[in-house]
Chain A
Amino acid sequence: MSDVAPPETAAGHAITELLGGFIQELRQAGLPVSLTENLDAMEAVKHIPLEDREAFKYALAATLVKNNAHWRAFETVFEVYFSLRGSKYRLVEGDEDDMAKLLEELMAQQEEREGEGAKSGAGGGDMMTPEEIAEMLFKALQRGDDAMMRAVARQAVRRFAGMEPGRPVGGTYYLYRTLRNLDLDAVMDRLMDQARESAPEPLTPLEERLERDEIEHRVDQLKKEIEAEIRRALVADRGVEAMAKTLRKPLPEDVDFMHASREEMAALRKAIYPLTRKLAVRLARKRRHGRKGPLDFRNTVRHSLSYGGVPAEPKFKYPRPSKPEIFVIADISGSVAAFARFTLHLVYAISNQFSKVRSFVFIDGVDEVTRLFEGVEDIADAVHRVNTEADVVWVDGHSDYGHAFEVFWERWGKEIGPKTTVLILGDARNNYHASQSWVLKEIDKRARHLYWLNPEPKSYWNTGDSIVGEYAVHCDGVYECRNLRQLERFVDLLA
């Protein structure tokens, strides 16, 4: 950013081509970019000084990305695609001076403080020792200095990531290696101690908490810098197209429940709030504006009296929305727990669309957890309690659908009535136990509908110990529910 160089692609023709490639890449990543938006983007960049990277990015984002959830995907593609072409990359050469300066300053400070001779005046361009990096990291975080953080990130990646050209490893591997060596937790503790010492009086708990949040925020920033640095190095090594492909991340609504990383899980949890709100609004509207009831003959004749017997104003019966009663029976064993959590969350969030919601969870034993949701305002909390408090282990804590269904039928089977819709969530991986599929047959006889939601991809069904096919014959529908998009579609259909 310090050095503003005219980009190589000043000619309009070249920029068109560049943008074309970029948009291609966005589409590959799953962002819907239409032709008009493409043209808008071309028009927009004409009005923006090309050397201003941030402005360029915002101009493209404003014209191409129309959904905030897609912002991250856009940003990644942007970083990769323009990392070699923007002025930022040039920083690498120009930055060495900065580094040297920073380092000198650092050394001087150290000398001053400790009163001992500097170890060595290591040149900025050379490898720094781990101790030096740690010291610099500490300083950078303490000051919250962006430029310095970037410099530390670069050094750390060079020193610790051990990147080898052409090695087919993902960025996460390098990231992990770098972070492990930096030992950020220890640094954070040190920063906290420092903060405590430098305060004139002891920190109150509140101040302490604020200080910690601030430090965490800075550490997060540093992590992002390191990630970006690794990405840049990888792009330089492998080329834009190859990198873009490996970095392609699914959009939040397409993230697979069963294989979501911890970070993706957090994103999913965030995405579920607006989703439930939208769904609730949509369903409420559907109910209000939904089909009118049939003609109310009596009422129409009654009103025709005021028109001299002419039925001028037809009256309709008030539509009686039939709110289904929902029984959710969810497998919460390890592999599918996340899926069960999301579905329970979603169902309870729109529970006013149903006359009653009851929920049961099982692994090899089964337990009713409806009470945990009663009168609770915070659904996420209740869902969390389900995982810790429900009594679902019978023998060994491996899924046993057969036994769970049998017990369910014995204890609650009678409560299923003609208004009940039963949802079963699980992958039907039964660990080769007996299937007891007669239970589902009985449930289907009593209930209005019986649906099965399976978080596994369809191609895995009925492979190994999955016996979803055996159960499916008794269900009104078996749906693949691997991501939020599919789940949302199903719930929409349900209500």
Chain B
Amino acid sequence: MADPSYRFESVAAVRESLRKVDYLSDEGIAGIVYLADRLGKPVLVEGPAGTGKTQLAKSVAEITGARLIRLQCYEGLDESKALYEWNYKKQLLRIQAERADGSTWEQVEEDIFSEDFLLTRPLLEAISAEEPVVLLIDEVDRVEVETEALLLEILSDYQVSIPELGTITARQVPLVFLTSNNTRELSEALKRRCLFLHVDYPELDREKEIVLTKVPDIKESLADQVARIVRSIRQLELKKSPSVSETLDWARTLVLLGIESVDVETAKSTINILLKYQTDIAKAVRELEQDNGTIETTK
């Protein structure tokens, strides 16, 4: 590599190496991963469920040979779970042990608030890691707005301030990915600190390629058909459109059943893998069953 301080040489290089680990990116995804590395900024990945947002972080970790540190967000997440916590029991033991040897209060106090007594949680762990890491903050939209503020210091300065210890700054700038299913609007402060990447359902060709790489032994014609049917289904107004992972599940099922080409009957009997709501299934089946009658209406 030309410049050792950067992980990637060019957008094309990112794309190529992602492809090697079976993640098929497009221009936008690769471009933003590249930029994230160059600018040293976190990436906020948003999009419908099951389009490979989390997988992107995993794949990037794989190609850079970094350790993946994952923080799964949920409602009620707080700093003792996300950042750090004092090991209270150990501190207590220390104090009791001190009593015997008669050291002064100052000594003990200094002692029990040292790094030995600190339990690192994912965020602090990512900051203090010696080796390269990729930090994945998953489903960040699940935490409350107030908790979001926890992340801000890390995201902009790659540091954590601990009142008793001082500030811990990152030894190396980790690649950070935040994913969001967009169940609520994230705060401006958070968005401002990130590069924004919207991952949508892939285009027909890319989806077909994904099916071909991820499903072994699938015939190209079947993969093509699968991708086309899924695209048609996504055009309907559904509660939940089929995601890429569901497409893959469906393709795998078809291969297992030894089906060479999909007709209406097979589609109907296996569509419950693709769609998870009864109303959606009914709608899709109705659509697929429609015969030439609709030609008239498209005129």
A residues sitting closer than 8 Å to B (CB atoms) are: 32, 34, 36-37, 40, 43-44, 47-48, 52, 54-55, 58-59, 61-63, 65-68, 71, 185, 188-189, 192, 204-206, 208-210, 212-214, 216-217, 269, 274, 277-278, 281-282, 285, 289, 377-378, 380
Q: Which of B46, B144, B264, B283 contacts A205 (CB 8 A)?
A: B264
Q: How far is the CB of A407 from chain B (nearest CB, A)?
A: 34
Q: With A206-B263, A210-B228, A216-B298 given, name 12 new contacts (CB 8 A).
A: A47-B34, A47-B39, A58-B27, A62-B31, A65-B196, A189-B295, A204-B263, A212-B295, A212-B298, A277-B183, A278-B182, A285-B75
B164 within 8 A of A: no
Across the interface, do B39 and A44 meet the contact criterion of CB distance under 8 Å? yes
| Selected contact of A59 from candidates B31, B144, B231, CB within 8 Å | B31
Q: How far is the CB of A270 from chain B (nearest CB, A)?
A: 8
| B32: interface (CB < 8 Å) | yes
- For residue B287, which residue of chain A has the nearest CB? A209
Kindly name the residue among A52, A71, A189, A205 whose own CB sees the greatest number of chain B CB atoms within 10 A.
Answer: A205
Give the interface centre of B34, B192, B290 by most chain A CB atoms within 10 Å: B192
CB < 8 Å neighbour of A68 from B11, B46, B229, B290 = B46
Q: Are A58 and B288 in contact (CB under 8 A)?
A: no
Closest to A63 in B: B195
Tell me, yes or no, whether B191 is within 8 Å of chain A by CB: yes
B65 at the A/B interface (Cβ < 8 Å)?
A: no
How far does the Cβ of B208 sit from chain A's closest Cβ, in whole Å?
Answer: 12
Contact mask B172-201 → A, CB, 8 Å, 1/0? 000000000011110010011011111000
Given contacts A34-B192, A377-B277, contact A188 B298 (CB under 8 A): yes
> In this complex, what residue of A is CB-closest to B233?
A213
Contacts of B267 in A (CB 8 A): 206
Residues of B close to A48: CB separation below 8 A: 11, 31, 35
Whether B196 and A61, one on each chain, are in contact in the complex, defined by CB atoms closer than 8 angstroms, is yes
Interface assignment of B167: CB less than 8 Å from any CB of chain A: no
Which range contains the number of B residues in contact with the other chain?
Answer: 35 or more
Which 5 pairs, one residue from A and one from B, show the smallest C-beta to C-beta distance?
A66-B191, A205-B291, A47-B38, A58-B31, A62-B195
A210 touches B198 (CB 8 A): no
Residues in A with CB closer than 8 Å to B292 are 205, 208
Contacts of B277 in A (CB 8 A): 377
For chain B, residues 224 to 242, give those with C-beta under 8 angstroms from any C-beta of chain A: 225, 228-229, 231-232, 235, 237, 239
In chain B, positions 39-68 with a C-beta closer than 8 Å to chain A are 39, 41, 43-44, 46-47
What's the least CB distance linking A214 to chain B, in Å?
7
List the B side residues contacting A189 at CB < 8 Å.
295, 299
**Interchain CA distance A46-B183 in the complex, whole Å:** 34
Chain A residue numbers with a CB within 8 Å of B290 are 205, 209
Given known contacts A65-B196, A277-B183, A209 and B232 CB-to-CB distance under 8 angstroms? yes
Q: Which B270-295 residues sit within 8 Å CB-CB of chain A?
A: 277-279, 283, 287-292, 294-295
What's the minimum C-beta distance from B182 to chain A, rounded to whole angstroms? 6
A40-B41, A54-B27 as given contacts; A274 in contact with B279, CB under 8 Å: no
- Asked if B168 CB lies within 8 Å of chain A CBs, one says no
Cβ contacts under 8 Å, B188 to chain A:
32, 34
Q: Which residue of A lies closest to B36 (CB)?
A: A62
Specify which chain B residues have a CB less than 8 angstroms from the CB of A380 in the assembled complex. Answer: 237
Neighbour of A210 across the interface among B225, B237, B291, CB < 8 A: B225
Answer yes or no: B21 CB below 8 A from chain A CBs: no
Residues of B within 8 A of A40 (CB): 39, 41, 195
Inter-chain contacts of A289 with B (CB < 8 A): 144
> How far, in Å, is B94 (CB) from chain A's closest CB?
29
Q: What are 17 inter-chain pairs, A to B, with CB distance below 8 A? A: A47-B39, A48-B31, A55-B11, A55-B27, A58-B28, A62-B35, A63-B196, A66-B194, A185-B298, A189-B295, A205-B264, A205-B290, A206-B229, A208-B291, A278-B183, A282-B184, A378-B283
A282 to chain B, nearest CB (A): 6
Q: Which residue of A lies closest to B291 (CB)?
A: A205
- Contacts A210-B232, A216-B298; A36 near B192 (Cβ below 8 A): yes
Verify if B129 is at the interface (C-beta below 8 Å from A). Answer: no
Given contacts A189-B299, A281-B183, contact A206 B288 (CB under 8 A): yes
**Which of A62, A208, A281: most chain B Cβ within 10 A?**
A62
Does B259 have its Cβ within 8 Å of any Cβ on chain A?
no
CB distance from A373 to the nearest CB of B (A): 14
CA–CA, A426 to B291, complex, Å? 41
| Binary contact readout B16-37 vs A (1 if CB under 8 angstroms, 0 otherwise) | 0000000000011001101100
For B193, the closest partner residue in chain A by CB is A36
Question: Given the complex, which residues of B lie within 8 Å of A210, measured CB to CB?
Answer: 225, 228-229, 232
Q: Is A43 touching B39 in the complex (CB atoms < 8 A)?
A: yes
Query: From A274, which residue of chain B is reached at the shortest CB distance?
Result: B182
| Distance from A156 Cβ to chain B, minimum over Cβ atoms (Å) | 20
Kindly provide the distance from the CB of A492 to the nearest chain B CB, expressed in whole angstroms: 12
Q: What's the Cα separation between A277 and B47 when bound, in Å?
A: 14
**B156 nearest CB neighbor, chain A only:** A36
Chain B residue numbers with a CB within 8 Å of A44 are: 35, 38-39
- For B263, the chain A residues whose CB sits under 8 A away are 204, 206
Nearest chain A residue, comparing its CB with the CB of B237: A380
In the complex the two chains form, what is the Cα distance from A410 to B131 in whole Å?
Answer: 77
Closest to A43 in B: B39
Q: Does any Cβ of A come within 8 Å of B262's Cβ?
A: yes
Say yes or no: A213-B195 contact (C-beta < 8 A), given A58-B32, A205-B264, A278-B185.
Answer: no
CA distance A55 to B185 in the complex (A): 27
Contacts of A188 in B (CB 8 A): 298
Give the docked Cα–Cα distance between A65 and B204 (Å).
Answer: 25
What is the bound-complex CA distance between A206 and B295, given in angstroms? 13
Smallest CB gap from B266: residue in A: A206
Q: How many angstroms between the C-alpha atoms of A278 and B184 in the bound complex? A: 5
Chain A residues lying within 8 Å of B27, measured Cβ to Cβ, are 54-55, 58
Give every chain A residue within 8 A of B237 (Cβ-Cβ): 269, 380
Q: How long is the Cα–Cα vector from A416 to B242 in the complex, in angstroms?
A: 43
Give Cα A282–Cα B75 distance, bound, in whole angstroms: 12
Query: Which residues of B lie under 8 Å from residue A274 when comparing CB positions?
Result: 182
What's the nearest-Cβ distance from chain B to residue A124, in Å?
Answer: 29
**Complex: A335 Cα to B290 Cα, angstroms:** 34
| Residues of chain A within 8 A of B28, CB atoms compared | 58, 61
Task: Out of B192, B198, B239, name the residue touching A37 (CB < 8 Å).
Answer: B192
| Residue picked from A48, A189, A192, most chain B C-beta under 10 Å | A48
Bound together, the chains give a CA A209 to CA B228 distance in angstroms of 10
Collect the chain B residues with CB atoms within 8 Å of residue A204's CB. 263-264
Cα separation A284 to B197 with both chains bound (whole Å): 28
Cα–Cα, bound, A377→B278 (Å): 9
Q: Which single member of B191, B228, B264, B279 contacts A214 (CB below 8 Å)? A: B228
B31 lies within 8 A of A55 (CB): yes
Contact call B288/A209, Cβ cutoff below 8 A = yes
A61 to chain B, nearest CB (A): 7
Shortest distance in angstroms between B149's beta carbon and chain A's nearest beta carbon? 16
**Least Cβ distance of B194 to chain A in Å?**
8
Q: Tell me the complex Cα distance, A209–B291, Å.
A: 8
Asked whether, in the complex, the Cβ of B184 is within 8 Å of the Cβ of A62, the reply is no
- Which A residue sits closest to B203, measured CB to CB? A217
